[in-house]
Structure 1
């Protein structure tokens, strides 16, 4: 292995520069004319520039000598910790491949740098972007992928075609349905574990409904943002369509969606439900054996009077944590009957803003569950996806 004595090299160059400066001074005379004086200035400026380059060269040399393991850790800090990034030549990690040959080799051979991507279709030069996207996807080298896909027209064909060779690598997927976006069959992503769907404020509910009509059996988590689901829409799904889900975050129009969701997702362990809640008629008795965490937030501007019927006929024997906000008058007696019916071991009970409950009622829950973590905080007003 060839080695270099950087200090010796720098010393030699520095001596040479000092010699140049001395030579300029020795040949100087007291009565310099304008041309000779300007010549001296230029030589000295050149010396300073070269010295500056030497100094930076030493720094570059130190960077160059960093072990690959350390360089890879530095590269990982160059990309966002959360969320997926857009492949662009002026952003890391693509930017890292343009610095020098060694950096390019290190970056290109780091699959972890190329696992989280944000891809867009429906505007601009698709061929150019597709080439860039595919280059990044290839560098993932079979690793699991987290992707954000945004469709700005009514056709997902371009993105579907691009992703076909990588479809089994996709573990996490965020889909942006914008105005006019068509449906995308989520079931085609056979290895998918987590799905998030969001919109640009439009209402592509039918496209989204068709897209999630059947989820892959591997999928565990579904978050539906900016979309309102009612009982009619939810009842239209195949009874086994969401059977694999263990976590669901959803906005609903009507509390009657709650029993429907429990039936649709028999393996659900965590449910966050936001929406407009009005009193529902007592439904048929329903026991959900797996739900452990339930978070509910109603409409901030809705003053509910009396019982909503939320806990009338439901039993949740495995419930461990409950958080409620903005549902008006708390159905204390109904909830106690629910606890007796469920025989659950509640560990956490949180009442946020917009819930009317008395101190005496709170004390009763502590009596029922001595180790209960009980919080009553009116500043907790709503959930945000």
Structure 2
């Protein structure tokens, strides 16, 4: 069944079911049974129980949660209560491959959610997709994305209710369609969380250019940034950096951008300084396009983010990461994460030697940072991921972080093997424990 046929079938089934009247309470035979404790609950308490039991997180597979569809099919009373509670029906999920059942479910939830905010997950990734294939061969097309957006926006009526939108794709076409489709919209006032992810980290490789080149032109995010947007994650996705501003943003993630579509340093500075409430920043396999160092160039003005509490830098080019860090002023930073994002995405002809000098370069640069850049002595949380360095370099860096109480080392390779827990304990005497490759080591 084609995608369009699935939509038509879903619309037919939904309209047919919506015209079916519920049986009256007096119809059919009457069955008497003892009232249970649940039967004695007033509707208000039963509604609260439903709210706790319904799974509003599309990523949560916990057996302790259930679907409002299940609750509404237990008995007549539960159905009446469930249908009256619009907040139970706010989580909309569409995954690839799509089906008429998915669309019927979405139509049902849209109708029953009334005027409550909507949380949407659109995951159109194909587990069997070969990234070497042309994008035009992907099973989810531009036309499919247009149809889904019309469905999820209710032809414009439901879009103002979006509270969370997460779009996961293999290819650029669906995200380009999303940006084009929404660029003329007034920003959804309820939108708090937006995740646009093209799940292909290989675009972060050194020298890699954006593909498809014909669709590389930047597109604004809505007419303006949503006024209530708190969380924005752009993974392999670029927008018109020159006009984007989000004053209420508290979390910003920029990941895996090709070199030619990254923001300039000035554009990134304008974005970050406009986010007066920003607390968490992740720049992984991305970062601004920095001009080559030159003694004749005017000095670059550092970016000051006084509200920032947590920073994660995932570098592919160690020297670029060091330059970026030197241009930040983070006076109240308490959590720092450093990751070698190049591991696993470098071309096969590049050096995978465990004695890479990237780790020592970055750790040494951090060790020598002045306190007006990042005050290492006030860090309470530190995460190092996929780094290779001599044990002495690591020890010197950790000694600069005496206040750290949460230390996590993932896939850290020391050139001269030592007892890592003992090294960490000696460098940070008050460290209570160490998370080493997901294993907790008590140090006190």
Q: Same fold (TM over 0.5)?
A: yes
274-283 or 341-350, larger mean C-alpha shift: 274-283
Residues 339-378 of structure 1 mapped to structure 2, 5 A cutoff: 339-342=370-373, 344=375, 345-356=378-389, 358-359=391-392, 362-363=395-396, 366=399, 368=400, 370-373=402-405, 375=407, 377-378=409-410
Q: Which has the larger radius of gyration?
A: 1
Tell me if structure 2 keeps the 8 A contact 1:215–1:241.
Answer: yes
Give the Cα–Cα distance (whole angstroms) in 2 for the partners of residues 257 and 356 of structure 1: 30
Give the Cα–Cα distance (whole angstroms) in 2 for the partners of residues 150 and 208 of structure 1: 24
TM-score w.r.t. the length of structure 1 is 0.63
Q: List alignment gaps of at least 5 residues for structure 2.
A: 1-30, 61-65, 125-139, 202-210, 294-298, 341-357, 414-444
* Residue 272 to residue 163, structure 1, CA distance change in 2 (3 Å): farther
Structure 1 residue 314: Cα displacement:
2.9
Tell me if structure 2 keeps the 8 A contact 1:223–1:249.
Answer: yes
Q: List alignment gaps of at least 5 residues for structure 1.
A: 1-55, 86-90
Tell me if structure 2 keeps the 8 A contact 1:84–1:146.
Answer: no
Partner of 1:4: none
Aligned residues: 308
Structure 1 residue 351: Cα displacement:
2.4
1:185 corresponds to which of 176, 182, 189: 182
Partner of 1:133: 106
Give the Cα–Cα distance (whole angstroms) in 1 for the partners of residues 402 and 59 of structure 2: 44
Structure 1 residue 249: Cα displacement:
1.7
Once the two structures are superposed, residues 176-228 of structure 1 have per-residue CA deviations (whole angstroms, 9 ceiling, x without a partner) of 45654323326532321110123476978948953636421221211123x26
Partner of 1:298: 315
Partner of 1:144: 117
Partner of 2:352: none
Residues 191-270 of structure 1 mapped to structure 2, 5 A cutoff: 191-199=190-198, 206=215, 209-210=218-219, 212=221, 214-225=224-235, 227=236, 236-251=240-255, 252-253=257-258, 259=265, 260-266=267-273, 267=275, 268-270=278-280
SS of residue matched to 1:237: coil
What is the Cα-based RMSD across aligned positions, in Å?
4.4
Tell me if structure 1 keeps the 8 A contact 2:380–2:403.
Answer: yes
Tell me if structure 2 keeps the 8 A contact 1:228–1:253.
Answer: no
Give the Cα–Cα distance (whole angstroms) in 1 for the partners of residues 368 and 264 of structure 2: 18
- Structure number having the greater helix percentage: 1
TM-score w.r.t. the length of structure 2 is 0.55
Residues 1-385 of structure 1 mapped to structure 2, 5 A cutoff: 62=36, 65-67=39-41, 68=43, 71-72=46-47, 75-76=50-51, 79-80=54-55, 82-83=57-58, 92-119=67-94, 129=103, 133-149=106-122, 152-154=140-142, 155-156=146-147, 158-159=150-151, 161-162=153-154, 164-177=156-169, 180-181=173-174, 182-183=177-178, 184-185=181-182, 188-199=187-198, 206=215, 209-210=218-219, 212=221, 214-225=224-235, 227=236, 236-251=240-255, 252-253=257-258, 259=265, 260-266=267-273, 267=275, 268-275=278-285, 281-282=292-293, 284-289=300-305, 290-299=307-316, 308-326=322-340, 327-332=358-363, 334-342=365-373, 344=375, 345-356=378-389, 358-359=391-392, 362-363=395-396, 366=399, 368=400, 370-373=402-405, 375=407, 377-379=409-411
Give the Cα–Cα distance (whole angstroms) in 2 for the partners of residues 125 and 288 of structure 1: 51
